Amino acid sequence: MLLGSHVPTADPLDEAARRGAEVVQIFLSSPRQWAAPKLRADAATLLGGGVPIYAHSPYLLNLASADPVVRQRSATLLQATCEAAEAVGVRGVVVHGGQTGAGEDPTLGPTRWRATLERLETTVPVLIEDTAGGAHAVASGIDRIARLWDALDGLDTPVGFCLDTCHLHAAGEELVTGTTRLLDVIGRIDLVHLNDAKDDRGSMRDRHENLGAGRIDPEELAAAVRLADAPTVVETPGGAERQAADIAWMRARLSAARPLGSGRGSVSR
């Protein structure tokens, strides 16, 4: 499987080389602003660069919001992001699952997601990412993800799933069991965000850590990546040097991966 990282936007191919990354993820516009992406001058270079690229949408997007203005702005920015992604050959646009309003019927989140995706015009898959927690999160924990996926059944719009290992851990799921259940619910995983976690399982805190330095068992991280069997990018701290070390760390464990040890069950589907 391909291993890589989220990299700075300016020169993704050079950043990939610095990390030994076989695949990269980038932002196409500021992650903390509503501004739409601009046409990249290096579009032809990226298209012919030989490195698969995924894009992460701005963090502000909330397609499940109780506020119709936020939902409309989110849908507009998602459309612009998908169009920019098509221009550089992006393989998928990652979008967080979002949150409904306090006291709302939790089924409204999946309903709002479907309404937006039915209107979206894109050839690039939208990859919905699980989130770390929160009372009103649409895609935190397997049961909520299953409810969302049921609501999206039969859509013509290309939709996939992005598994974040830190988020799954923070949402209270054991990583190997949770990944197996996700595969049962969704059928496949399209991208993995490979991150260790600074906090214990169930913390609902989205704090990434470098691989092997956090609270997730290294064997579980390797086993989950094996199970997901999808392009995998680290979003870990420390820049090119530490991310290169994280990629090498996981490559070594995947090459020597084995079922989890005595008393923990084997990894199988």
Q: pLDDT tens for residues 7-41?
A: 999 999 999 999 999 999 999 999 999 999 999 99
Query: Per-residue pLDDT tens for 253-266?
Result: 999 855 554 333 33
Q: Which domains does the chain have, with CATH numbers?
A: 3-255 (3.20.20.150)
pTM: 0.94
pLDDT at position 268 over 70? no
Query: Per-residue pLDDT tens for 48-78?
Result: 999 999 999 999 999 999 999 999 999 999 9
Q: Which are the contacts of 225, defined by CB distance < 8 A and separation ≥ 6?
A: 1, 165, 192, 194, 232, 250, 254
Q: For residue 231, which of 189, 181, 171, 187 has the smallest C-alpha distance?
A: 189
